[in-house]
């Protein structure tokens, strides 16, 4: 799994983001992993729907199109729930409360940059 950061207008807004690239990484996502901490996230490509079945913690979600434009924001998705967006091509999973702190809004364009690149 690749590690990088999420940027908005060349400003780093989430400094530690895992990019789920392979089919297995996308399928597993955060299942069986510890809760995300402040400043952490997981970007899942080819993902329009997220579930929190089998998870013990909530997530904030940003659904993005293929260009990184925010199409939908969902705050505090509880365990055993589903959330999605037909307009999305990828999903950014974040620790609960993150969306409010970074004041992300629909229409913003995000970019993932690999660490060290």
Tens-digit pLDDT profile for residues 68-114: 999 999 999 998 898 999 999 999 999 999 999 998 999 999 999 99
Place of tokens 């993932």: 112
**d(C-alpha 113, C-alpha 53), whole Å:** 29
| pLDDT value, residue 99 | 95
pLDDT digits (tens, 9 = 90+) for 20-64: 887 767 766 666 677 889 999 999 999 899 888 878 889 999 999
Inter-residue contact 38 to 53 (CB < 8 Å): no
| pLDDT value, residue 103 | 86
For residue 71, give both structure tokens: 């199409």
- Please give the torsion angle defined by the CA atoms of residues 22, 3, 85 and 58, in that order, rounded to the nearest 10 degrees: 110
| pLDDT value, residue 87 | 95
Euclidean distance between the first and final Cα of the chain, in Å? 15
**d(C-alpha 14, C-alpha 17), whole Å:** 7
CATH 2.60.120.1140, applies to 2-114: yes
Q: Is residue 25 classed as helix, strand or coil in its secondary structure?
A: helix
């Amino acid at each position: 799994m690749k590690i990088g950061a999420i940027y908005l207008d060349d400003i780093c807004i989430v400094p530690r983001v895992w990019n789920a690239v392979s089919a297995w990484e996308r399928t597993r996502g955060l299942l069986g992993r510890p809760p995300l901490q402040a400043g952490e996230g997981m970007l899942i490509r080819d993902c329009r729907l997220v579930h929190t079945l089998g998870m013990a913690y909530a997530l904030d979600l940003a659904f993005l199109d293929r260009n990184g434009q925010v199409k939908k924001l969902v705050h505090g998705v509880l365990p055993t729930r589903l959330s999605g967006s037909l307009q999305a091509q990828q999903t950014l999973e974040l620790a609960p409360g993150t969306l409010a702190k970074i004041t992300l809004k629909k229409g913003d364009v995000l970019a993932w940059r690999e660490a060290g690149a």
